[in-house]
């Protein structure tokens, strides 16, 4: 069936990273229909997981000094894991929530395509470093928040793209500086690509969060605060990348609230 939300769900049921990326690439030139109203049934085991990496609690994944070959590889692996999960999150945004405008589904399908590109870039650098994705343990923090927000698209938009993914905007300058400090200009350039695209991804989350707030007659700042408490979202810790967040559509009022 060439229907966008069904295609996204099928891709999310593909565990092997290369095969999932290939499934996502089919969305680049997608010319099928979008059924905005159908309530799709969640199959068992969504999202499908590759056999590796081993998933461990977040505190068990300890950072290593980036100046060592092992530390550089560990950082690349951690970033690749984030991007692989980001592919799945974008697909989940597409299939899970019915009743939104068609543009919502097409926006997140485009995000999934870009996340797959990011994953492929980072995996290539990881292979250059002598490892592959899955060779090191990783944690499942992004999907924990996806599970907590599976009942409401407004909460999902508030706390996944606008919170967890927006933290990537803040971290990117520091990650880029780490790579440059060891002369890894190729990896730093990949971070530049990811930051450019992630500003757009967070902007998609902001756009649909504010759309839903207007539709429901809700104040965005108060609503974000309420949903963050309800779902035990992590606090927005500084320093914030104010320039990137403004580009991504955060208002000055929202940023003031976060910095407080």
List pLDDT tens digits, range 136-183.
999 888 899 999 999 999 999 999 999 999 999 999 999 999 999 999
State the DSSP code for 164.
I
The owner of tokens 């996806």 is: 146
Distance of alpha carbon 130 from alpha carbon 141, whole angstroms: 26
With cut-offs at 50, 70 and 90, classify the pLDDT of residue 1: low
Residue-level pLDDT at 29: 83
Residues 6+ apart with CB under 8 A from 92: 12, 46, 47, 146
Q: Which of 52, 53, 2, 62 is nearest to 26 (CA)?
A: 2
Q: Which of 128, 133, 116 is nearest to 50 (CA)?
A: 133
The answer regarding whether domain 4-27+54-259 maps to CATH 1.20.1260 reads yes
The count of other CB atoms within 10 Å of the CB of residue 136 is 21
Q: For residue range 56-89, list pLDDT tens digits in order.
A: 887 777 777 888 999 999 999 999 999 999 999 9
Q: For 39-52, what is the mean pLDDT?
A: 94
8 Å CB contact between 71 and 64: yes
Is the predicted pLDDT of residue 125 greater than 80, yes or no?
yes
Provide the Cα torsion 15, 190, 125, 173; round to 10°: -100
Is the predicted pLDDT of residue 97 greater than 90, yes or no?
yes
What is residue 134's three-state secondary structure?
coil
Q: What percent of the chain has pLDDT over 70?
A: 99
Domain ranges of the chain: 4-27+54-259
C-alpha distances (whole Å) from 117 to each of 108, 129, 197 are: 14, 19, 10
With cut-offs at 50, 70 and 90, classify the pLDDT of residue 237: confident
Q: For residue range 185-218, list pLDDT tens digits in order.
A: 999 999 999 999 999 999 999 999 999 999 999 9
Distance of alpha carbon 93 from alpha carbon 112, whole angstroms: 10
Q: What percent of the chain has pLDDT over 90?
A: 86
Q: For 222-233, what is the mean pLDDT?
A: 95
């Amino acid at each position: 069936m060439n229907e966008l939300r069904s295609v996204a769900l099928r891709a999310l049921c593909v565990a092997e990273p290369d095969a999932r990326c290939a499934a996502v690439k089919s969305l680049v030139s997608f010319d099928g229909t979008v059924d905005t109203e159908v309530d799709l049934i969640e199959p068992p085991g969504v999202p499908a997981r590759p056999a590796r990496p081993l998933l461990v609690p977040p505190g068990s994944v300890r950072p290593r000094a980036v100046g060592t070959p092992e530390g550089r590889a560990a950082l690349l692996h951690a970033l690749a894991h984030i991007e692989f999960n980001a592919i799945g999150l974008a697909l989940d945004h597409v299939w899970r929530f019915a009743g939104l405008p068609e543009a919502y589904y097409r926006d997140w399908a485009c995000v999934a395509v870009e996340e797959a590109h990011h994953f492929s870039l980072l995996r290539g650098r990881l292979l250059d470093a002598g490892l592959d994705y899955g060779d090191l343990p990783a944690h499942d923090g992004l999907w924990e928040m996806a599970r907590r927000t599976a009942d409401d698209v407004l909460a999902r938009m508030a706390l996944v793209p606008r919170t967890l993914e927006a933290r990537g905007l803040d971290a990117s300058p520091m990650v880029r500086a780490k790579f440059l400090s060891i002369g890894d200009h190729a990896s730093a350039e990949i971070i530049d690509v990811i930051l450019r695209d992630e500003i757009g991804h967070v902007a998609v989350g902001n756009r649909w969060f504010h759309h839903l707030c207007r539709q429901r007659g809700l104040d965005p700042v108060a609503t974000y605060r309420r949903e963050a408490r309800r779902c035990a979202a992590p606090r927005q810790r500084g320093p914030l990348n104010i320039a990137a967040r403004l580009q991504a559509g955060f208002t000055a009022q929202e940023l003031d609230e976060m910095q407080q």
